[in-house]
Structure 1
Amino acid sequence: MAPSPGVLLSVVGLLLMGRGWTDNEAAWAPRAPAPTSPTWAWGVHRQSLPAPIGRRTRRRLTTALNTMWAGRVLGSPAWKRPLRRTWGYRGVRVGEARHPGPSAPGSPLHPAIQRCRAHSPDSGGDRHPLRRRVAEPGVAVRCFCPVPGCGHGDAMRAAGWASHEGMRHHLDDHCSGTLTGAVPAEYLQAHRLDLCSVCGLLVGRRYNGPRPPSFSTIMGHTAPTLRHVPHVARAAWAQCLARAVAAAATTNTGPAWQELLMLPKAVLAAPLRGGGGHHKQAALSTLRRCQRWLAGERMELWDELVQPRPARARADGVELAAQHTRCCALAAEGELSRACAALTEPPPLPPSRATLEALAAQHPQAAPPDVAQLGPARPAAVPEVTKENVVRAVRSFSRASAPGPSGLRADHLQETLSTAHGDEVASHLVALCQLLARGEPALVAPHLAGARLHALPKKQGGVRPIAVGETLRRLVSKALCQAVREDAVNHFCPLQVGVGARMGAAFDLLGAPIGDSEYCTQATLSDKVQKAGKVLDALGELDNPQVSLQLLRHCASFTKLVHNMRTTPAGLHSAALAAFDGKARACLESIGCFPVPDRIWQQATLGVKHGGLGLRQCAVHATAAYLASVATTQEACRGLDGRYNPDWPTSSATAATYNAVVLEADRFRGDQAHRQQALSAALDKAQLAQLLVTAEDASGRAHLQLLQQPAAGAWLLARPSPALGLDLVEKMGLLPERPEELGASEVGRPSVSQRRPADVYLPNWGAYGPAAMDLAATSGMRGSVLATSAGDGASAAANYEIRKKIHHNTAQLCAGQGLQFIPLVVEACGGGWGPTAVATFRKLGALHASRLGMSASDGAEQLFQALSVALQRENARAVLRRLAESSDSVPSLAEP
C-alpha cells in the first residue's frame, strides 16, 4: 500500500506548478500567476496533481531530487530543530576559522573533514565565526576503507563504519586475501598497526607497554603445572604449543622464547583446590585459559599466577596419609616402582637456607671451563634431525616424568601428538630441535641448560642433590642420540662402551653370596628379606587393596629376590626363600582382610594366565631361575675360561629338584638353552595340574578351567586409574530391581518379527561391509554344562557363540541382508571371552592404539582390562544384591 503524498508530494507539486527557490534561499518567489480555478487551501490546482506513481518510479524520482538538492540546506522547523547537547567550543582551536595551521599529529582526517578545514568560510556573514565546527551539528563522521579501488572507500555510495575499530574486520579481509588490495602503509603507520608474522592479519603495536617477564622470572617461578592436559583442552593446548614453538623456531627472538617458556605455567597451572568434585571445573578452566592465550591475553594469564605457599612440617599421621596419596597417584600413572618407593622413602626436603647450603657443599663452585680450546662451532656437523626421531624421542619419555624449570612435562608433549594438530606440533618441534642442536639461540641457552634442583635425604644423613633439566633440552638430546646411534655402534663396537651402544655400560656382579648353605641363608635373610619386609609391612597398611596387590605382584614379592635366585643355587638358601614367602603370604592376608589357606595360597602363586594372582613362590621358582641363568651364560663362560665345566654338583642337584616337580614332558635338559619364563611356566603347569586333581568336586575343577580363558584375569592387571574408571570403589551402588521381580508385564516388548538382531551396528567393519555385534553372557558353572567346563573351560563361551548364530537363524538372516553377524560372548564367572570376541576386540584395540600412537598389543590389553573391570564390577554388585544383610544393615561376606 503506497503512502500518502505528505511533504514529498507537496514539494513535487510546487516544482511542477511553477514555484521554486529564488537566489535568496530564505524566501519564496512565484514564477507565474496562479490560475483562477478552484484550489486547495495551500494553492495547488486540483486538476494539476500528478497521477499516482509506482514504487519504482517514486524511487527514481527520489534519487533525482536528492541529486538536485544535495547542495541545498533546508531549515528545519522549530519543533524539529535538534537541541545542542554538546560543548560548543570542544575540539575547536581559537583562530582555526581563518588560520587552521598545520594538522595535528595522529590519525589522518577523513577527506570530507579535510575539505571543511582547508576552505574556511568567510566570517562576514557569520555572527560567531569561532563557533564553527568541523562537522555540522548532528552529522556523524563515518570511516571508509583506505584501500585504493575498494568499493567501501567511496564516501558518496558506501555506508562506512562508525569507527576504525569497527572497520578492522574489513581490513583483515584485505590482509588475508579475501578482498583484493593491500592496506596502505601510511594508514598502518598512522594507526599504529602492523601485520602479524604468523597469520598475516592486523595487530596493534605497543610502545613502552607491558613487557613479558624475564627469563629468570619465568624459570624461577615455582607454580606447579598439571600432570596431564584434560581431554577437553588437549586440542586447544596443541594449538597454543604449535604457535609458540613455530614462533620460536621461525623468529628466534627473545620475546618468542619468553612466550614459549611461560606458556606451560600460564595455561596449565594446577588448580588451587583438588578432589573429584573439582575435576570438571579444572578441565574447563584449563580450556578457557588456552582460549585466552590464543586470543592474545599472555600477560593477563601470567599475572593471575599464584605463588605457592611454602611447605610446612606435617604431623606423623598427616605425613603417612600424604605418602599413601602419592603412592596411589603414581600407581594410577603406571609408575609402580616409584609408587612402591613412595611408601618407604622419605619425601624431598622443603626449600630452605640450610638445605641450599648443604647442596652447595656437595658441589663446590669452580671456574668455568675454557670452551675456546674446543675451537669454533661447526653448525654443519650437526646431524639432521628427522620427524621420526623427534616423535620417537617424545614417546620414549617415561610416564610422570618430572618437569624442568619451565613446568613443561613430557606428558604434555605426548598428549599433543594424539590430537588433530599432532603433525603440526611434530613439524614445528623438528625445526626447534634443529635450531637448538646448532646452538643458535645464544640468548636463551643459559636458561635451557639450567635445571631445577631437588634435595633428597640420605639414610645415613645428609642430602642428595637431584637436578631435573628442561624438557626441551632433554628432547634434543634424545633426538641427537637417535640420529647418531648407528654410527656410535659401529665406532664403539669391539669395546661396547659408549653412548648409543648396546650393553654400553660396565657393571659389577654384586650382592651374590658365595659360601656354604649357612652363610648364603644368613646373607639372603639380612640383605634381602629384612629390607623387603619393610615394603611388605607398608603395603599391608595401605588403605587401597587394588594398589597394594599391584605393588605386591610387580615390586615387592618375587622380583625382590630374582638376582639372588639366578646367582645362588636354590639348595643353599632355601630356608631364607621360604621365610620370604611367608612374609608375602602375610601381606596378602593383610591386604584382603581374610585368611589364606594352603590351597588358596597355592592357587594365588600361579600366573594370571593360569588362574592365579601372579604371586610366585620364591622357594618353588628358585630352581627355574638358577637353571635358566646357567644355561644362558654357558657360552660366555666357555669363552672366558676354556676349562669351564658346566656340570657342577650344585647345578645337577638343582636340575634334579626341578625335574622332580614338573611334568615329564617339561623336564630340564642341559643341552638346550631355556628361558626362565618357559621354565616357570612349566612349574605353574604342574602346580595347576595338582590343583585340578585334588579339587573336591566338578565345580572346583570347572572354576579353575574358566579362569584360564583368554582375558579372564585382565582385571587383575588393570592400572588403578580413577580417570579411566578402572579403580576400586568400595561403596558401590546396588543394581536396580529386575522388571520381572517388580511384576512388570511383557507389554511393550518387541515381537519376534520386530526384534533387532544385535546390540551394536557398525556401518563398516573390515572388508566385508557392515556388521551387527551381539553381546551375550553365559556361565560355565551352570549344572547343564558344569561337567563339560571341568574338562574344557573354553567350551562354554564357544558353544554359546554357536547357539547365538543358529538361534532364530540370526546369522543366516543377517547374511541375507548383507550384514556380518558377530557374537561377542563372555563367560561371566571366570571372565573369559569367546574366540570371536577375542579376535574382534584385538582388532578394535589395534585401531584404538593407532590413534594414540601405541602398539597394537598395548591397545588390546587396555581394552580387555577395561572390559574385565566392568564385568567384575557387575559381578560384585550381583553378589551384594544376593547377600543376606545382618541386623545392622551391613552386608556380611563371611562368618566371623
Structure 2
Amino acid sequence: MDKFSNIGLEVNFSKCELFVSNSKNVNEKNSIIERFKTLAPNIKISDKHSLHLLGSPIFPESIPSFIENNIHNFNETSDRLLKINSHMALFIIRFCLFVPKFTYLLRSTPLWKFNELCLKLDDIIMKTLSSVLNCHMNERAWTQASLPVRHGGLGIRKISSVALPAFLSSVHKTQNLTSDILSKIFEEPQITFMDEAKDAWLQAGPNLKFPVHLNLQKLWDEPLCILVRHQLLDSAHDIAERARLLAVAERESGFWLQAYPSGNIGTLLDNLTLSVCTRLRLGVKTVEHHRCHCGADVDVFGHHGLSCQRSAGRLSRHATINDVIRRAFVTVNVPACLEPNGLARDDGKRPDGMTLIPWKGGRMLVWDATCVDTLAPSHLQASSSGAGAAATAAENAKRHKYVSLCNNYIFVAFGVETLGPWGPDAWQLYKQLSTRLVDVSGDPGAGTHFAQRIAIAIQRGNAASILGTLPKDSDGDHFLW
C-alpha cells in the first residue's frame, strides 16, 4: 500500500464492498471480516439482503429492500407528472418511466416470484395514470389499459405482467454465454429459477406453447396479452362493450396513441380532450346523467353524443379529415380541391374532394369521407360481430350514392369510425398515399404521420361531441367524472 501511496494512488475503502459467501462457520466469517476491516478501514460489509451488482440485486433476499427504496422514487415521479400536459405525461409514462425504467431489473432478477411487490408497484402505476388522465379506473379498465396498444390498451404495462416474459427472454438470451463462463467451474451449470419460470409461464393459461425464438421478450409476452384480451371479450357485459373492445384493438384505432404529442405539428391533445378520449377507449364513466340539447337522455358513458344529429364535433371532425387528405395529395404533387363544382348529385350534394390531375389510369380521384359511430344502435349488432363493420357499411352506402361518378372518375369512400377502425376503401387509399408520401419526402414514417393526423382528428371530434351534449349554462366540470 505504501508503494502505491508514493506514486499518488490510494484506495477509497468507503467505496469498496465485502461479501463473504458459503461460510458456514460464523467464527470463521467474523474472522475474515475483522481482518478486512484492519486492512481496509470503512469497507462496506454486505450480506444477502443488501448485495447488489451493477445496480441489480444478486440474491432474492435483497429484492424486497431494493424495491422498497424504488417505491419512494416512483411516488416522487408521479407528483411531477401532474405539473405538465397530460398527453405529454402519458407519453413519458409509456416510454420512459415505471416499466421502461425497470426493464433492466425485470430481466436480471426473478422479480416475478415476488407477486405482492409487483402488485404494489402496479398499484402506484395505476394511481399515477388515473391522476394524469383524471379518470377513475376500475379493475377491468386498468386491465385493458395495461395491454399493448395493438390489443386495445394504452400501452402502460403492469410490472406483474412483464416480469415473467422479461426474465425468460433474458435467461435464454444469455444462456450460452453463462454456460461458457461457468463451465470452467461447474460441470453442468444451470441458471437459477429458469425451469421454475418456464413452468410458471405454462401455468399462466391453457394450451400455451414455448415460442420458437426463446430469446425474444415479445414472443413470451404476446400469448399472455392475447389471453387477457380474450378474457375481456368473453366477459363483456353487453354487445356495446364487446363492440368497443373489438374496435379499439384494430391497428388504426391506436394511431393517435402512437403520435408524438407536439403543439407545433398539431398532435398535442389538451387535458380534457385526452381524458374524454381515454375514458371512451376504456369504457369508463365519462359524464353525469343529463339531457342532450336534442332532448335525448345521456348516460354516464356519454355515447349518445357520438351519434347525435346535433353533434358538436361532427362538422369540425369532417372538415379536418378532408383537409388532412387534401394536404396529403398536395404533398405528393397531386393538386386537389375540396367540394368540387360540377360534380353534384341530383339532390345537390357534392363529394368532399377531387384531385385536379389524373390519379391513376388517366382518371381523377374523387373522395367522400364519413365518420360513423361504432356504438350507434343501428350499427351495434354488426360492430359487435366484427371490427370495422360500421365503416364498411358506410363506404358501401357512399358508393351507392355516387354510383354515377364511377364511370368517369375513381371514386373512394373514405369511411372511418368514432372508435378508430377504417373501412377497406380508406385503407386502400391510405396505402397508396403512404407509398407516395414516403417516396416524395424520403421519410419512412411519412405515411404513419398521415394516419396519425386522421386518428387525432377523430379523437378531437369525439371529445367535442361528448362535451357538446352538456347544458350550455352549466359548469362542465360538474358533469365530468
**TM-score, structure 1 as length reference:** 0.38
Q: Say whether residues 1:553 and 2:94 are aligned partners.
A: yes
Q: Say whether residues 1:789 and 2:383 are aligned partners.
A: yes
Q: Say whether residues 1:531 and 2:73 are aligned partners.
A: yes
The alpha-carbon deviation at position 641 of structure 1 amounts to 4.5
1:707 is matched with 248
The alpha-carbon deviation at position 544 of structure 1 amounts to 1.3
The alpha-carbon deviation at position 629 of structure 1 amounts to 1.2
SS at match of 1:721: coil
Q: Say whether residues 1:866 and 2:408 are aligned partners.
A: no
Question: Which residue identity does 1:826 align to in structure 2?
Answer: V
Report Cα offsets for 1:289-318 as digits up to 9, x if no partner.
xxxxxxxxxxxxxxxxxxxxxxxxxxxxxx
The alpha-carbon deviation at position 891 of structure 1 amounts to 5.2
Whole-angstrom CA distance in 2 between matches of 1:700 and 1:854: 38
1:778 is matched with 372
The alpha-carbon deviation at position 619 of structure 1 amounts to 0.8
Whole-angstrom CA distance in 2 between matches of 1:881 and 1:839: 33
Q: How does 1:613-624 map to 2 (within 5 A)?
A: 613-624=154-165
Counterpart among 118, 124, 139 of residue 598 in structure 1: 139
SS at match of 1:777: strand
Question: Which residue identity does 1:833 align to in structure 2?
Answer: W
Aligned residue pairs total: 364
Change (3 A) 1:522 1:872: same
Whole-angstrom CA distance in 2 between matches of 1:631 and 1:768: 56
SS at match of 2:252: coil
2:476 is matched with 890
SS at match of 1:760: strand
Change (3 A) 1:580 1:630: same
Q: How does 1:163-178 map to 2 (within 5 A)?
A: none
1:334 is matched with none
SS at match of 1:772: strand
Q: Say whether residues 1:514 and 2:58 are aligned partners.
A: yes
Change (3 A) 1:641 1:768: farther
Report Cα offsets for 1:460-488 as digits up to 9, x if no partner.
xxxxxxxxxxxxxxxxxxxxxxxxxxxxx
Q: Say whether residues 1:657 and 2:251 are aligned partners.
A: no
The alpha-carbon deviation at position 825 of structure 1 amounts to 0.7
The alpha-carbon deviation at position 674 of structure 1 amounts to 4.5
1:827 is matched with 417
Q: How does 1:250-649 map to 2 (within 5 A)?
A: 510-516=54-60, 518-526=61-69, 528-539=70-81, 541-642=82-183
SS at match of 1:822: strand
Q: Say whether residues 1:843 and 2:432 are aligned partners.
A: yes
Question: Which residue identity does 2:59 align to in structure 1?
Answer: G
The alpha-carbon deviation at position 796 of structure 1 amounts to 2.3
Q: Say whether residues 1:725 and 2:282 are aligned partners.
A: no
1:149 is matched with none
SS at match of 2:368: strand
Contact 1:659-1:667 within 8 A present in 2 as well: yes
Change (3 A) 1:816 1:533: same
Question: Which gives a bigger RCO, structure 1 or 2 (Cα 8 Å, sep 6+)?
Answer: 2
SS at match of 2:378: coil
Whole-angstrom CA distance in 1 between matches of 2:67 and 2:114: 7
Contact 2:168-2:198 within 8 A present in 1 as well: yes
Whole-angstrom CA distance in 1 between matches of 2:107 and 2:414: 43
Change (3 A) 1:649 1:782: same
Change (3 A) 1:568 1:520: same
1:41 is matched with none
Change (3 A) 1:553 1:736: closer
State which drifts further: 599-608 or 785-794: 785-794
Whole-angstrom CA distance in 1 between matches of 2:443 and 2:152: 28
SS at match of 2:140: helix
2:282 is matched with none
SS at match of 1:614: coil
What 5-or-longer segments of structure 1 have no aligned partner? Answer: 1-507, 739-748
SS at match of 2:90: helix
Contact 1:546-1:727 within 8 A present in 2 as well: yes
Question: Which residue identity does 1:514 align to in structure 2?
Answer: I
Contact 1:715-1:866 within 8 A present in 2 as well: yes
Contact 2:150-2:254 within 8 A present in 1 as well: yes
The alpha-carbon deviation at position 751 of structure 1 amounts to 5.3
Superposition CA RMSD, Å: 3.0
Change (3 A) 1:869 1:644: farther
Report Cα offsets for 1:809-854 as digits up to 9, x if no partner.
x35x33421x2222211011x1221233223223323433444431
Report Cα offsets for 1:509-530 as digits up to 9, x if no partner.
72221213x322222332x433
Change (3 A) 1:728 1:754: closer
SS at match of 2:160: helix
Change (3 A) 1:646 1:622: farther
Whole-angstrom CA distance in 1 between matches of 2:462 and 2:108: 44
Contact 1:610-1:707 within 8 A present in 2 as well: yes
1:191 is matched with none
Whole-angstrom CA distance in 2 between matches of 1:546 and 1:763: 39
Report Cα offsets for 1:644-703 as digits up to 9, x if no partner.
758656122222222222452x4326x743411222222221111111122211111111
Change (3 A) 1:786 1:534: same
Contact 1:532-1:560 within 8 A present in 2 as well: no
1:761 is matched with 355
Change (3 A) 1:760 1:609: farther
Contact 1:720-1:726 within 8 A present in 2 as well: yes
Report Cα offsets for 1:254-281 as digits up to 9, x if no partner.
xxxxxxxxxxxxxxxxxxxxxxxxxxxx
1:876 is matched with 463
Whole-angstrom CA distance in 2 between matches of 1:885 and 1:646: 72
Change (3 A) 1:650 1:782: same
Whole-angstrom CA distance in 1 between matches of 2:76 and 2:217: 28
Q: Say whether residues 1:816 and 2:407 are aligned partners.
A: yes
Change (3 A) 1:753 1:645: farther
Runs of 4+ that moved beyond 6 A: none
Change (3 A) 1:736 1:720: closer
The alpha-carbon deviation at position 757 of structure 1 amounts to 4.8
Highest CA radius of gyration, 1 or 2? 1
Whole-angstrom CA distance in 1 between matches of 2:313 and 2:142: 36
2:279 is matched with none
The alpha-carbon deviation at position 783 of structure 1 amounts to 2.4
Q: How does 1:31-50 map to 2 (within 5 A)?
A: none
**TM-score, structure 2 as length reference:** 0.68
Contact 2:87-2:261 within 8 A present in 1 as well: yes
The alpha-carbon deviation at position 772 of structure 1 amounts to 1.4
Change (3 A) 1:672 1:644: farther
Whole-angstrom CA distance in 1 between matches of 2:163 and 2:388: 32
State which drifts further: 681-690 or 644-653: 644-653
1:100 is matched with none
SS at match of 1:816: coil
The alpha-carbon deviation at position 882 of structure 1 amounts to 0.8
Q: How does 1:108-187 map to 2 (within 5 A)?
A: none
Comparing both structures, which one devotes a greater share of its residues to helix?
A: 2
SS at match of 2:355: strand
Question: Which residue identity does 1:553 align to in structure 2?
Answer: R
Contact 1:710-1:833 within 8 A present in 2 as well: no
SS at match of 2:421: coil
Change (3 A) 1:768 1:601: farther
Q: What percent of counterpart residues are identical?
A: 24
Whole-angstrom CA distance in 2 between matches of 1:803 and 1:852: 35
Whole-angstrom CA distance in 2 between matches of 1:868 and 1:598: 27
SS at match of 2:268: coil
Question: Which residue identity does 2:197 align to in structure 1?
Answer: T
1:800 is matched with 394
The alpha-carbon deviation at position 777 of structure 1 amounts to 1.6
